[in-house]
A and B are shown apart, each in its own frame.
Chain A
Amino acid sequence: MKRKRLLARLWQFQNDNGYIPQVSINKLAQELRVSKIEIEGVISFYHFFHKEPTNKYIIYLNKSIVSEFKGYNNVKKAFEKETNCTFETNNKDSLFSLFETPCIGLSDQEPAALINFYPFTNLTPQKVRSIIFHLKNGNNLKDISSNPTSKIQYKPAKNKTIFFRDYVLGNSIKKLKNLTQNQVLSELKNVGVSGRGGAFFQTATKWTYCKNNKNKPKYIICNADEGEPGTFKDKAILNNLPGLMLEGMILAAYVTGAKNGIIYLRAEYKYLQPKIEKAIALMYKSGFLGKNINGIKNFNFEIELQLGAGAYICGAETALIESLEGKRGEPRIRNLFPTEAGYLNKPTVVNNVETFALAARVIELGSCFFKNIGTKISKGTKLVSISGDIAKPGIFEIEWGTTINQLLSIEMCNASEPYYIQINGPSGVCINQNEFNRKIAKEDLACNGSIMVFNKNRNIIQIIENFTKFFRSESCGNCTPCRAGNQILLEKIKKIKNGIATANDLDDIKKWNNIMKLSSKCGLGKYSASTFSSAIDKFRNYFNKIIIKNKGEIKFDLEAAVFDYNELIQNTQN
């Protein structure tokens, strides 16, 4: 067995047994000639792999902030009551195992859960009761699961719609007969196609680096790990336009000369796997994958799909590559781009799902089509997924340059009393009402696709706490500022919640954000405190209400400090 097959093998054991038994670990260690602790290190990195036995139905309830605001607590209680189990503990002699999990990409239909990776959405205690009832009666899981569609809530006028227009198989690939590699690149450059995973790196530049690299073989990787809480726009492409994404990968192969492509699909989207595989099969059948693609001699390319196993950090490209190689998903040090040394140390292009889909549309429609869509700098449209306190949560294809106010209007997502908006998920930025006239554009609010809208009644410190806990457990654990920093921030949050924080504490948070930003190894650590830090400035009134204003004062909560003692004495008296 090759090491790169490790995750697939672990999935096999996990699926067959409900956990990965010690004998399997021993076997894998022997096959790979590595120590067992190495295999255990991989297993324990991914939260969908279990080392302890689980029961027939594994329930993962989403604990994202949107879910929390939409009734998470009651749903959680309902699950515990109906199954007679508790979360995160191994309940023997039960049909069920209960776990919490970060965002599963269903923010428009929260609270949501995965049961054996089938989605269940818009949960209520009543709904939970009926689900558990059905399962106890042996009904088929798939039959009772929700069938969440990606609700396309908005697209621009027909002549301005890029993504959600009719899809005809192979339209972009067919153009390759008359396009050289360099022509493809200049088309992308003309439109200014840049990475939709969030970094907005010029896609043509990335592909050129890989093309110019003499080293072989080369790889094309599609990043379908969409883990940033509140993001579910890639899922809309995987759901509605998987072929378009595949065509983008094929274009990348054409340009760079790669022979193999891999789609790294987050396990949370496992229910989309059949659909994607069907789309791949159709590509082979139609001559757009395999040998001599589209009749172009020696243009050979194959695509396979690999499942992640529950780790947000694997969305970061070098961590993703490590994961594909069968390792813990720890980001690499940043001295080489993946286009120089990526998957198996070979030149590799990693792009986001939407980036590939966009590339395919650019070649299909021609760069001229984009001329009058968007702003001067940001051409075309952007997919955003909007959730929270709005009437129409879902997917929006918007022209670059659309303002937040327009987004919030009745015509679009119809927000009620919007107050706090989180752009780009927890790693992104928050904005207040004074900024609602800002534009979604690379030159202003460069949005990767996640927008969460919260109204005035939402507790900001609850939002921050949810985010910080997310980072605390999703950090790969490698570097000090990120691993320790997020734990330390939670202590400050505790202090704020206890009402004993002062203006000094808020200053500390801003300084500590700078330290984490300066010294963390990858984006996760760098940006994990930036929302907290900027919220302090942007929602000053809110924070002023919950802290002690006097800077020099130190408030010690003596009552809280003796609470345990008093309890204990009371309880041991009789």
Chain B
Amino acid sequence: MKEVSFKIDGRDCKAEKGQNLIEAAKQNGIFIPTLCYFKHLNPLGSCRVCTVKQNGKPIAGCTVSIAEGMDIEVNTPELLDNRKAILEMMFVEGNHFCPSCEKSGDCQMQNLGYETGIRYTRFPHLFVDRIVDARPERIVVNQNRCIKCKRCIEEVITNDGFKVFNFTNRGNQTLVSVDYEQEAKLSEAQAEHAMHICPTGSILVKGKTFGKPFGDRQFDYAHEGQNIPLTDIKKQVKSNKRKMRVATTSLAGCFGCHMSLLDVDLGLLDLIELVEFNKSPLTDIKKFTERCDIGLIEGGCCNTDNIEVLREFRKNCDILVSVGECAIWGGLPAIRNTVPLEDCLKEAYLDSLTSEEGETVIPHHEDIPKILNKVYSNHEVVKIDYHIPGCPPNANHIWNVVKNLLFEEEFSISYPEFKYD
């Protein structure tokens, strides 16, 4: 095979002529993230995460065969942002509730989210109702998590040569559907292989749990030693020597983020030297008594009271930070966003196992906050200055962000502290 020279981001590289760019880049020490690419398959070019520029023209990197003199761009600011945007699109198109996903920590898409540093999505979440198909013999297909990468369609074939998965419909209705007859022919090992190649948690094998605890999962420490700088935070350093004031609240959240807040253990004693808490469940101060430097918001908005409190925080805090998945995009409470409000309330108050026979009244009173038609992220309601992902976020992550905001010193986040679950 002939060796040829080409360039990646201006760097001289060498590879065999005709070699796939993803592989060639890897050999030259450059990592191009992908979700649909598989070395042994014809390139699919469906996920578009690997979009690069070849001689100035955008193209899916997995479909490029190396030729002499090629000029490839991989990590330009435009392409890096594009890669992030495509991942964000995947997050908003499906319903990716990481904390309740069996594959969390072993999910390639989630890991790419960490790698590209997605804290929140620039796009609105779509919350389309999707099914979980448990009809197959060995597997369950959770359409909420499917990103339509096509890997399973190309790769999972019965021993006698039949496809088990195929696309059906088109446009926004496109689905990866299962052929039940063919699926029944799969061996346990083949089914596990299907689960394994799924880059998300869409294909699972029945009765198979991910036995590994937090910390031992595939991507838990994938980037140990690396740090995420917080350079994109606008500092709020004040010259007066007073203690910085912090307010916190929990809207539609579970107080897990507040628990995490306390998880810095003895570090808390140092913090108390530097900051004081105003309105917060920690102090039980109900109303703002002074303007605050930072407001930490846990939870999103599911009722009118949440909206009111959030607006109050915006008015009284210089900087507002959404803490945790619920605050950032609705999180677990937003599971209801794919279901009409009427069905939710009827299920809760009229038709549930514990409701009275023939019950017709949904409880309401002028003092009870009204439930919103869906759970809203905080940045849909007021301006939010920073987002801290996690369910709950790691304590160090929260406090390093706060410290970075308020003090002159530079802080950063270590990768294992950057999680969605």
Q: Which A residues fall within an 8 A CB radius of B?
A: 33-38, 40-41, 44-45, 311, 313, 328, 330, 333-335, 472-481, 483-488, 491-492, 508, 512, 515, 518-521, 552, 554, 556, 558, 560-566, 568-569, 572-573
Contacts and interface: CB of A to CB of B under 8 A. Distances in A.
Contacts of A476: 170-171, 174
Nearest to A574: B360
Contacts of A36: 179, 181
B341 A564 contact: yes
A33 B364 CA distance: 60
Interface in B40-98: 43-49, 51, 58-60, 63-65, 78, 82, 85-86, 89-90, 92-93
A552 B383 contact: yes
Interface in B124-145: 124, 126, 128
Contacts of A484: 89-90, 92-93, 123, 126
A508 B122 contact: yes
Contact of B126 (A330, A488, A518): A488
21 contacts: A37-B178, A45-B169, A477-B167, A477-B170, A477-B173, A478-B167, A480-B49, A480-B147, A481-B48, A481-B86, A488-B89, A512-B85, A519-B82, A521-B60, A554-B383, A561-B372, A561-B374, A564-B373, A565-B370, A568-B362, A572-B350
Contact of A521 (B45, B148, B169, B362): B45
A272 B171 CA distance: 28
Contacts of A573: 361
B421 to A, nearest CB: 23
A566 B169 contact: no
B165 interface: yes
Given A333-B45, A520-B48, A554 B166 contact: no
A472 B171 contact: yes
Interface in B92-134: 92-93, 122-124, 126, 128
Nearest to A569: B364
A328 B304 CA distance: 47
A565 B372 contact: yes
B381 A41 contact: no
Given A476-B170, A492-B124, 4 more contacts: A474-B171, A479-B46, A519-B58, A562-B371
A188 to B, nearest CB: 27
Given A40-B177, A480-B47, A515 B82 contact: yes
B265 interface: no
Nearest to B304: A562
B339 to A, nearest CB: 12
DSSP class of A's interface residues: helix, strand, loop or mixed? Answer: helix
A480 B90 contact: yes
B412 to A, nearest CB: 27
B82 to A, nearest CB: 5
A35 B58 contact: no
A486 B165 CA distance: 25
Contacts of B304: 558, 562
Given A477-B169, A518-B51, A35 B148 contact: no
Contacts of A44: 168-170
A44 B170 CA distance: 7
Given A45-B170, A483-B174, A520-B48, A565 B90 contact: no
Contact of B360 (A481, A518, A572): A572
Interface centre among B166, B307, B380, by most A CB within 10 Å?
Answer: B166
B407 to A, nearest CB: 26
A556 B301 CA distance: 11
A565 B162 contact: no
Given A488-B126, A568-B362, A478 B148 contact: yes
Contact of B164 (A33, A35, A515, A568): A35
A480 B167 contact: no
A325 to B, nearest CB: 15
Contact of A480 (B86, B169, B373): B86
Contacts of B376: 556, 561
A473 B173 contact: yes
B47 A491 contact: no
A518 B58 contact: yes
A486 B380 CA distance: 20
B42 to A, nearest CB: 8
B218 interface: no
B167 to A, nearest CB: 5
Interface in B353-369: 360-362, 364
B396 interface: no
A35 B181 contact: yes
A37 B165 contact: yes
B268 interface: no
B22 to A, nearest CB: 14
A492 B148 CA distance: 24
B307 A558 contact: yes
A479 B171 CA distance: 10
A424 to B, nearest CB: 21
Contacts of A480: 46-49, 86, 89-90, 93, 147-148
Given A41-B168, A335-B65, A480-B93, A568 B177 contact: no
Contacts of A552: 383
B270 interface: no
A488 B126 CA distance: 7
A488 B65 CA distance: 33
Nearest to B171: A473
A483 B172 contact: yes
A334 B48 CA distance: 13
B163 interface: yes
B5 interface: no
B171 A477 contact: yes
Contact of A333 (B43, B128, B174, B370): B43
Contacts of B60: 333, 521
Interface centre among B93, B165, B171, B383, by most A CB within 10 Å?
Answer: B171
Contacts of B170: 44-45, 311, 313, 328, 473-477
B342 interface: yes
B56 to A, nearest CB: 12
Contacts of B380: 554, 556
B174 A488 contact: no
Interface in B368-421: 370-374, 376, 379-383
B312 to A, nearest CB: 14
B285 interface: no
B182 A35 contact: yes
B13 to A, nearest CB: 20
Contacts of A556: 307, 376, 380-382
A140 B165 CA distance: 44
Contacts of B282: none
Given A478-B148, A484-B89, A554-B379, A562 B59 contact: no
Contacts of B379: 554
Contacts of A561: 307, 372-374, 376
Nearest to A494: B124
Nearest to A567: B342
Interface in B189-215: none
Contacts of A562: 304, 370-373
